[in-house]
Structure 1
Amino acid sequence: MAAGIDLTLDCADAELLAEFWKTALGYVDEPPPAPYRTREEWLAQFDLPGGESADDAAWLCDPDGVGPRLSILTVPEPKTAKNRLHIDIRVPGHGGVGERWARIRAESERLVAAGGSVLEEFEGHHIVMADPEGNEFCVAAAPARR
Structure 2
Amino acid sequence: MTPFQLTFDCADPTIMVRFWADALGYEAEPAPAGFDNWNAYWRSAGVPEEDLDPAGDGCGSIVDPRGSGPRIWFQPVPEGKAGKNRLHLDIRASGGREVPLAIRKERIEAEAARLELAGATRLRVLAPDDQDHYAVVMQDPEGNEFCLA
TM over 0.5: yes
| Partner residue, 1:144 | none
Deviations 1:111-135, CA, capped at 9 Å, x for gaps: 1111101111112421110011101
Quick one: which amino acid aligns to residue 127 of structure 1? Answer: V
Give the number of aligned pairs. 139
The alpha-carbon deviation at position 10 of structure 1 amounts to: 1.3
TM-score, normalization by structure 2? 0.83
TM-score, normalization by structure 1? 0.84
Provide closer, same or farther for how the CA distance between residues 73 and 8 of structure 1 changes in structure 2, counting only shifts above 3 A: same
- The answer as to whether partners of 1:10 and 1:72 remain within 8 angstroms in 2 is yes
Which segments of 5 or more consecutive residues in structure 1 lack a partner in the other structure?
141-146
Deviations 1:74-109, CA, capped at 9 Å, x for gaps: 211111111111111111535211111211111111
* Cα separation, 1, equivalents of 2:6 and 2:104: 27
* Cα separation, 1, equivalents of 2:67 and 2:141: 26
- The answer as to whether partners of 2:28 and 2:59 remain within 8 angstroms in 1 is no
CA RMSD of aligned residues (A): 1.9
1:99 matched to 2:103: yes
* Cα separation, 2, equivalents of 1:12 and 1:132: 10
* Cα separation, 2, equivalents of 1:3 and 1:92: 29
Which segments of 5 or more consecutive residues in structure 2 lack a partner in the other structure?
128-132
Deviations 1:17-62, CA, capped at 9 Å, x for gaps: 2111121111111112334442123212334356111446511111
